[in-house]
A and B are shown apart, each in its own frame.
Chain A
């Protein structure tokens, strides 16, 4: 009896640290192999100009010891805890989703008031505009990835199509922003359908690879189609937006009224910056209202059903081809809108703005926010745009900090910041058929 007890008690005390020690030892070994060439050897040019090799094994030893202790501390800390499981959001995200309307309104009120707040400098508004563009891109991609479950790694292609269509139509035909906006949306949606057709049968990894390729093809076309796109030089002098026909210039041309004259204000370059901010905000809001609404329509529910089970969808009379194509087209359309805005804001575009890293960042916003969550996208876009801005003082370590923060978020919330999914349909809150479609959360 006593021996049995002792035997069963032993592993949890003395020998309990064994696996952790082994694990830390392994980590230290890996560190030693990596650090030996990186930290341990240095080549310096000698007096005769030849390279001499200097060894710093003290540094390597310090590094290895640090890794060993750190790994051991982590393992001991995690011991006895259940492994992190991908949960369906926590209490917090459920609370946020249930009161999405209030959080959305509060966020909107803040967004509208932002340029008027005392701390709002030109820099703050500029950064806020960037956040809003990424929110809009995130919401657009959310249709494809979050709702329809189609992993798209080439979303930036539609952003590029939107930007170049505005730039080209403005340059060649003198079209204004408001005229180009629907054209850009339409062209981007067409590009979305073009991408959609070949990938209809693909899922998961394969789909991701093809969309990645599509993004690169669009970028390469922009680089190489010199006569039209200007190649790597891009397109400059893209018309800046005017306030419904009233330009933001100090000295307007003969017969024109400038914005500051119209309202009897002192001229300030800030006017345009604030106007651009509100323009982005308005476009983003349109995107949000659209997505919220469509989620409760049959097509929106079909997207979500498709994400869950394609075979079941077919068995229920849903045409997966049309469902996927509409998701690609609509998602692309909002990317196109955002692209148009980007072009008019920058005044200059080149293929360099539309590289894979942009696609990756937009996708990271959707995943980090919690696939399908509209408020999650806002949170994630804010984090992703602000982190590098706030950590500017860290200089060279900035991107390291950024990466570490993303890793930590994914460890802390494996399904994204707000993973809770709010049902699109409820009975009992009201009677009549209207309650079926009208009921639901806010942004």
Chain B
């Protein structure tokens, strides 16, 4: 469904991605793990069109989106829960969710809202609270909920477990699995928390120095001694 083909991304003279190819098929959770600076976030951002790929192609549903503007890519059906959550701090939970519904022009707002509240009952309790007053975990729920309000056909998530209390991390990962199962929504997940992320993944890629250095099913990668040594030992 999503094909990233030999993509190179540069920040000035620095090559952050040196020819990365990955695919995400319908209904899959795909996890990308890697150390800091391996290019994980850059890959997600490049798929979203900011920054643009310097070379290579990105196709979504057979359509070339390499040169498209970020906001148009979202309207095609690729939603993202961006790094650092980026919720609107002065707006209420409800208003934040409404902003997520922009690509659908609010057509199914109430229905979609009910689904998000079912997934994260906490958000329903906090609906009139301002976004900036939520805890980190609640903000992450809001961030995912907001992305779902766009009725996406694919969800990209950047470090959903970053800076969140361990008990909430579990909840977030359970929610990711639930979203994937119930809606059949393909999810591309970038994570430092490699153990949890690979456990729920159908497939995974290991990124190092801007290149894919390993690929396999979630289980294969979890069992791989090199992956264990580099990303899992002392982790989880």
Contacts and interface: CB of A to CB of B under 8 A. Distances in A.
Interface residues of A, number: 26
B48 interface: yes
Contact of B98 (A301, A317, A319): A301
A317 B71 contact: yes
B146 interface: yes
A315 interface: yes
Contacts of A309: 86-88
A424 B90 contact: no
Contacts of A316: 71, 74, 99-100, 102-103, 146, 150
A305 interface: yes
Interface stretch (A15-23, A170-178, A362-370, A425-433): A425-433
Interface size class of B (residues with CB under 8 A): 20 to 34
A304 interface: yes
Contacts of B109: 433, 436
B48 A315 contact: yes
A304 B150 CA distance: 19
Contacts, number: 85
Contact of A314 (B71, B100, B110, B127): B71
Interface string B11-31: 000000000000000000000
A309 B83 CA distance: 13
B161 to A, nearest CB: 19
Contact of B90 (A312, A315, A318, A421): A421
Contacts of B70: 314-315
Contacts of A436: 98, 106, 109-110
B110 A308 contact: no
Interface string B50-94: 100000000000000000011110110000101000111111101
B90 A308 contact: yes
A314 B69 CA distance: 9
A137 interface: no
Nearest to A422: B92
Contact of A312 (B72, B88, B127, B128): B88
Nearest to A323: B71
A315 B49 CA distance: 10
B227 to A, nearest CB: 30
Contacts of B91: 301, 304-305, 308, 423
Interface of B: 48, 50, 69-72, 74-75, 80, 82, 86-92, 94-95, 98-100, 102-103, 105-106, 109-110, 113, 127-128, 130, 146, 150
Q: Can you list the 6 inter-chain pairs with the closest CB atoms, starting with the nearest?
A: A317-B74, A312-B86, A317-B103, A308-B88, A314-B70, A423-B92
Given A304-B95, A316-B74, A423-B91, 18 more contacts: A88-B130, A298-B105, A301-B98, A302-B99, A304-B91, A305-B88, A309-B88, A312-B88, A315-B82, A316-B71, A316-B99, A316-B102, A317-B150, A318-B71, A423-B95, A425-B92, A425-B94, A436-B110
Interface of A: 88, 298, 301-302, 304-305, 308-309, 311-320, 421, 423-427, 433, 436
